[in-house]
Structure 1
Amino acid sequence: MLNRIRQSIVYRIGTLMLLTVLVALSSMVASYVISDAAENDAAAVNLAGSLRAMSYRLSATAPSGNVQATADLADEVAKRLARVLSISDFSASDNLRAARNYRKVIVSWEREIRPLLESIASGRLSMDSLQLATYLEPFIGDVDTLVFDYQTIAEEKISLLRLVQLGSLFAIVVLVYLSLYILHRSVELPLKQLTSRSLSIAQGNFHQHRLEIDSEDELGVLARTINYMSDEIHATHQQLAKRVELKTEQLQKSHEALDFQYRLARRISEGPLAGTELGKWLEEFANMADLDNLDLCLMTPDGEAPYEHLVEGKGYNHCESYECRICVSSCGPSDEGSFHIHRFPLEVDKRNYGVLTCTLPQGKDLDEEQLQRLATFADSVTAAIAINEREAQERRVALLDERAIIARELHDSLAQSLSYLKIQVTRLSHANRSEQVNKSKVKEIIHELKEGLDSSYRQLRELLTTFRLQIGPGGLRNILEQSILAYREQHPQITILLDYHLNEVPLTPHEEIHLLQLVREATQNAVYHSQGDMVQISLIQAKNQSLNVRIRDNGVGISNAPEKRNHFGMSIMQERASNLNGKLNIQRREEGGTEVQFNFIPLYARERELVWRDAG
């Protein structure tokens, strides 16, 4: 029982409440019992008091000789004496003082007073009122004593009731005070501490103001639990703070590494890396990765020794030139003397460009992150060298392609013109060697030679202009507008109109070059051979994503014998159309003039069609 009271606030408070209720109930029951016992005390006092008054009446009635009135009063006194006994808390045989006084009054009444009164009333005994009153004085005194006894009994009951109520009140006050004291000490103060600690925990203070509650009840268990929880959370927070600090440091290093790789990748995309600049990148990488001794050996795929050896720190002290092939072939971790070596090959597509070596003291090794960073740096250097080599190869291929284009352009234009001129010179030589020189024929040949020279010179200027053309930031539309402006300046009598609607079409450089050359060739033919005064150029995209190019003039129209020398440019346009997988059509217009039509599907549309087809 005591253990339960000590270990449970609820049981403790419940016990106090139960005691308070029991005291209150006891007080109520006692009050009820006492009040119930004192219910007839007042009536008994009144009845006893009335006996004294009736005794005085009898003392006045009996000497008058009225027997009936005397008998009636005597009967009434007897009834009231019996009534007093019936409402009393004792019986006539009890040994209480009130019971003894009552028996004395009854005996005195029945044996002395009543016979005396009857004798006086009947005349057997003569006694006046004064004498009778004097004789009744002892009896009246006994009645007064009986009244006083009843009054004393009533006052004792009232005193007992007052005492019970005061005792109950005191017990209730004590219990209430004890309850309030226990609530204050066991509930209010601990709750204040718990509330304050909870607010402190809510603000993140897990290790300050520990709860000092040593009780064994629920709040004590809760306080110890909160203290334990706070200690655990504080320890967890410290661990998390250390982990966050470590992760932040790692993230910072990762950010630095990513920033380094981004800047290196951007630099690689901008152009080739020279040895001096690559050495600076190696130095920055060593500082970023916390590595001291790094060697970067760069080799040609067919070389035996490095053409560039970059060292950061002391490097690998035992590095010898004759060991280069062995160093490259033994990539990975190895122990050599007092050093622990890591080698990372610079290799792509089975082509070796060198090796990246990291030298560490014996017993020390690289962590996973450092290994990954070294491998990534080696891959970046390899990519830079491979990109440089590929760009050099692309430049060589582009140079050869450009020379092939120049050769084709010269062959298709100047070579044919020169061949034609050579034929005319042969004709002129035969005409001069004949016995009779036909002057008109010689004159015709000379005229054709002159026209051929003029045409060759014009073609040479067109080729020079074509070779100097460059598609700049303005794209195909800008270079077409510049070309048309040049034609307008050279031939102000001809109106050249451009209708361009390919601003939203992503053309490749290859497509732009061939479109430009095809439009220029067709426009040039219209300007020089159509004999018209208007040329219309339109470039639009059809609904099927194909591009439609039209060059129309209002001249004399294309000749029925296009094999003549002035129409050799058509073969060039046919070749450009085939390079774009397009269809070229050259025809006379019904309203006069020539129309060149070219249709092709650009690369982006063909690729999108393939993607849709594969998805379907």
Structure 2
Amino acid sequence: MLNRIRQSIVYRIGTLMLLTVLVALSSMVASYIISDAAENDAAAVNLAGSLRAMSYRLAATAPSGDIDATTELADEVASRLARVLSISDFNASDNLRAAHNYRKVIDSWEGEIRPLLESIAAGRLPMDSLQLANRLEPFIGDVDTLVSDYQTIAEEKISLLRLVQVGSLFAIVALVYLSLYILHRSVEQPLKQLTNRSLSIAQGDFNGHRLEIDSEDELGVLARTINYMSDEIHATHRDLAHRVELKTAQLQKSHEALDFQYRLARRISEGPLASAELGQWLGEFANVADLSNLDLCLMTPEGEAPYEHLVQGLGNSQCDGNECRMCVSTCGPSDEGDYRVYRFPLEVDKRNYGVLMCTLPRGESLDEEQQQRLATFADSVTAAIAINEREAQERRVALLDERAIIARELHDSLAQSLSYLKIQVTRLNRANRNEQMDKAKVEEIITELKEGLDSSYRQLRELLTTFRLQIGPGGLRNILEQSILAYREQHPQITILLDYHLNEVPLTPHEEIHLLQLVREASQNAVYHSQGDMVQISLTQAENHSLNVRIRDNGVGISNSPEKRNHFGMSIMQERASNLNGKLNIRRRDEGAQKYGLTLFPCMPGSGNWFGRMWGDSTPL
């Protein structure tokens, strides 16, 4: 019971309320009982007082000789004495003083007073009223004593009722005060502390003033719970703050590493890395990755020792330059003496370029993020070296292709022209050795030799112009416009028109060069051989993403067999068209003017790869 009162505010307050109700009920029940017991006290006092008056009346009636009146009054006194006993709170046999006095009055009445009165009234004993009154004086004194006893009993009951009321009032006031005190100490003050602490927690103060509530009741449990929760949340916040700081530092490191990788990748894309610059990147990487001892060994596929050994910090002290091939082929961590060495081969497509090594004291190790950064840096260095080799190989291939193009151009133009001239010289020698030399035939051979030499010289100049040709930032359109301006200055009598609609077509430099040579060759033929006064150049894109290149003139037209002697440019144009996966069509219009037509189709839109087909157009210029 006491434990429950100590451990529960509700039970404690309920107990106080129950005690208050019990005190109030007890007071009411006691008041009711006392009031009920004192109900007949006044009647008993009155009856006892009336006995005294009737005694005086009997003292006056008995001496008169009226026996009936005396008997009637005596019966009335006996009746009233019986009624006094019936309404009393005691029995005649009780040991109370009032019961003793009552028995004394009854005994005096029945044994002495009544027989005396009846004898006087019957005349057997003469006695006057004064004498009788003196004789009744002790009896009347006993009656007065009995009246006083009843009065005392009534007053005692009233005093008891007053005492019960005062005691109940005091008990109720004490219980109310105790309840208010308990509510103030056990409820109001703890609730005030809990409210203030809750407000501070709501504002984020988890390490503020602790609740000093040591009770074992619900509020004490709540206070201890809040203290524990505050401590846990504060510890959690402190741990989270520490973790946020660590994560922030890690993110900063990651940001620095990503920025480093981005700058390295951008630098790699700009051009080849020299050894000195690669050493600077290695040093910067060591700072970013918090690694002090790094080795970067670069090797050729056939070499047994590195041609470049870049060291950051102390490097690998175990490296003695022997068995480099085994070191390069080893991957992952290994314990070597007092050190732990991590190796990351620079390898791509089964081609090994060297190894990146990180040396740590024995017992230490790299975390996963540092190993990932080392692997990424090794991949970047590998990519840089591979790109350098690829670019060098591409330059070698481009140089060989350029030389092959020059050889093909020389073979298709000057070589064939010189062969033709050699044949003409042979004919001239034969004609000269002939005794009957045909002078007209010799003149014809000489004329053809002269034309062949002029053609070879012109082709040589065109080849020189072609080999020096460069397409600037303006692209194909710009160089075509410049070429047309040059033709107009050299041949002001010929109108040359350009219709260019390939601004949205992505052309590679290779395609631009071949298209430019095709247009230049066809335009030159039209200018030098058509004998017309207008040349129209058209470059357009069809709906099926094909490219149409057309050169038309209003001259005399080309011969039916343009590939015959001295027309080596035609075969070169055909070869250029085939290099573009296109088809070249050369024909006359009905009006006699010549036309060059080239149609190129892309395999895929924007791919830069083309295939061609034949086309024809008889529309007059």
Q: TM-score, normalised by structure 2?
A: 0.72
SS of the residue corresponding to residue 272 of structure 1 reads: coil
SS in 2 for 1:354: strand
Does 290-299 or 585-594 show the bigger shift? 585-594
Code of the residue aligned with 1:285 in structure 2: it is F
Shift of 1:33: 7.8
- Counterpart for residue 265 of structure 1: 265
Q: What displacement does 1:391 show?
A: 0.9
Deviations 1:443-469 (A, max 9, x none): 785377247615742662365146422
Question: CA 1:496–1:220 in structure 2 vs 1: closer, same or farther (change >3 Å)?
Answer: same
2:440 to 432, 438, 441: 438
Say whether 1:222 aligns with 2:222.
yes
> What is the rounded CA distance, in whole Å, between the counterparts of 2:86 and 2:509 in structure 1?
137
Q: Hey, what's the Cα distance between the residues in 1 that align with 2:509 and 2:39?
A: 126
1:397 Cα deviation from its structure 2 partner: 0.3
Q: What per-residue deviation string (whole Å, max 9, x for no partner) do you get for residues 507-526 of structure 1?
A: 44444444444444444444
- Residues 471-528 of structure 1, C-alpha deviations (whole Å, 9 max, x = no match): 53x444444444444444444431312231442x444444444444444444444444
Distance verdict in 2 for CA 1:29–1:576, change over 3 Å? farther
Amino acid aligned to 2:402: E
User: Are the equivalent residues in 2 in contact too, given 1:414–1:460 (CA < 8 A)?
Assistant: no
**Equivalent residues of 2:421, 2:452 under 8 A apart:** no
Q: For the aligned residues, what is the CA RMSD?
A: 5.7
Q: Are residue 468 (structure 1) and residue 469 (structure 2) matched?
A: yes
The code of the aligned residue for 1:438 comes to A
Q: Distance in 2 between matches of 1:562 and 1:172?
A: 139
- What is the distance in 2 between the residues matched to 1:151 and 1:526? 162
- Give ranges in structure 1 of 5+ residues lacking alignment: 46-84, 100-146, 609-616
Q: How far 1:561 sits from its partner (Å)? A: 2.1
Query: For the residues of structure 2 that align with 1:587 and 1:90, how far apart are their CA atoms?
Result: 161
- Residues 216 and 407 (structure 1), Cα distance of their counterparts in 2 relative to 1, 3 Å cut: same
The TM-score, its normalising length taken from structure 1, stands at 0.72
Distance verdict in 2 for CA 1:580–1:443, change over 3 Å: closer
Q: Counterpart amino acid of 1:468?
A: L
- Cα deviation for residue 217 of structure 1 reads 0.8
Match of 1:453 in 2: 454
CA distance in structure 2 between the partners assigned to 1:31 and 1:512 by the alignment:
126
Query: What is aligned with 1:237?
Result: 237
TM-fit CA distance, 1:373: 3.0
Cα deviation code 1:324-376 (max 9, x no counterpart): 34543555544444444343333333333223333344444444443333333
**Contact conserved, 2:417 with 2:452, CA < 8 A, in 1?**
no
Counterpart amino acid of residue 399 in structure 1: L
1:184 aligns with 2:184: yes
Counterpart of 2:547 in 1: which secondary structure?
strand
1:396 is the counterpart of 2:396: yes
* Aligned-partner Cα distance in 2 for 1:560–1:36: 157
**Residue type of the alignment partner of 2:350:** K
Partner of 1:378: 378
Task: Name the SS for the 2:439 alignment partner.
Answer: coil
Matched-pair contact (CA < 8 Å) for 1:345–1:354: yes
Aligned to 2:292: 292
Taking only the aligned residue pairs, the percentage that are identical comes to: 74
Letter in 1 for 2:552: D
* Alignment-derived partner of residue 550 in structure 1: 549
Equivalent residues of 1:477, 1:500 under 8 A apart: no
Amino acid of the residue matched to residue 549 of structure 2? Answer: R
Distance in 2 (alpha carbons) for counterparts of 1:597 and 1:395: 31
Shift of 1:598: 0.6
The equivalent residue for 1:127 is: none
Deviation at 1:274, TM superposition (A): 1.2
Taking the aligned partners of 2:254 and 2:499, their CA distance within structure 1 comes to 55
Output the amino acid matched with 1:205.
D
Deviation of the 1:411 alpha carbon:
3.0
Once the two structures are superposed, what CA deviation does each residue of 1:404-463 show, in whole Å capped at 9, x if it has no partner? 222223333344444444445555555667634228x72785377247615742662365
Q: Distance in 2 between matches of 1:523 and 1:153?
A: 155
Write the letter of the residue equivalent to 1:265: A
**Equivalent residues in 2 for 1:216-615 (5 A)?**
216-317=216-317, 319-330=319-330, 332-426=332-426, 435-438=437-440, 442=443, 445-446=446-447, 449-450=450-451, 453=454, 456-457=457-458, 460-461=461-462, 464-465=465-466, 467-470=468-471, 472=473, 474-492=474-492, 493-503=494-504, 505-530=505-530, 531-542=532-543, 544=544, 546-556=545-555, 558-564=557-563, 568-589=568-589, 593=593, 594-604=595-605
Partner Cα distance (2:534, 2:507) in 1: 31
Deviation of 1:12 (Å): 1.3
Cα displacement (A) at 1:317: 4.1
CA–CA separation in structure 2 for the residues paired with 1:444 and 1:568: 19
CA contact (8 A) 1:583 1:600 kept: no
Aligned residues of 2:210 and 2:227 also touching (Cα < 8 A): yes
AA aligned to 1:551 is R
State the alpha-carbon separation in 1 of the partners of residues 506 and 42 from structure 2.
124
Question: Post-superposition shift, 1:323?
Answer: 3.9
Shift of residue 400, structure 1, vs aligned partner? 0.9
Name the CA shift for 1:589/1:602 in 2 (closer, same or farther; >3 Å).
farther
Q: Which amino acid aligns with 1:495?
A: I
Q: Which residue of 2 aligns with 1:53?
A: none
The one-letter code matched in structure 1 to 2:440 is: N
Alignment check: 8 A CA contact 2:548 2:600 kept: yes
What is the correspondence of 1:74-93 to structure 2 with a 5 Å cutoff?
none
Query: Does structure 1 retain, via aligned residues, the 8 Å contact 2:584–2:596?
Result: no
Counterpart CA distance in 2 for 1:458 and 1:18 is 129
Provide closer, same or farther for how the CA distance between residues 254 and 606 of structure 1 changes in structure 2, counting only shifts above 3 A: closer
CA contact (8 A) 1:413 1:569 kept: yes
Q: Secondary structure at the match of 2:380?
A: helix
- What do the CA deviations read for 1:286-342 (whole angstroms, capped 9, x no partner)? 333333333322222112232222222233445444543454355554444444434
**C-alpha distance 282-374 of structure 1, shift in aligned 2 (>3 A):** same
Q: Which moved more, 1:266-275 or 1:316-325?
A: 316-325
Q: Could you say if the C-alpha distance between residues 579 and 171 of structure 1 is closer, same or farther in structure 2, counting changes exceeding 3 Å?
A: farther
Aligned pair count reads: 597
- Note if contact 1:557-1:589 (Cα within 8 Å) is conserved in structure 2: no
Instruction: Label 1:223 to 1:443 Cα distance change in 2 as closer, same or farther (>3 A).
Output: same
Aligned-partner SS, 1:438? helix
- Unaligned 5+ runs, structure 2: 46-84, 100-146, 610-621
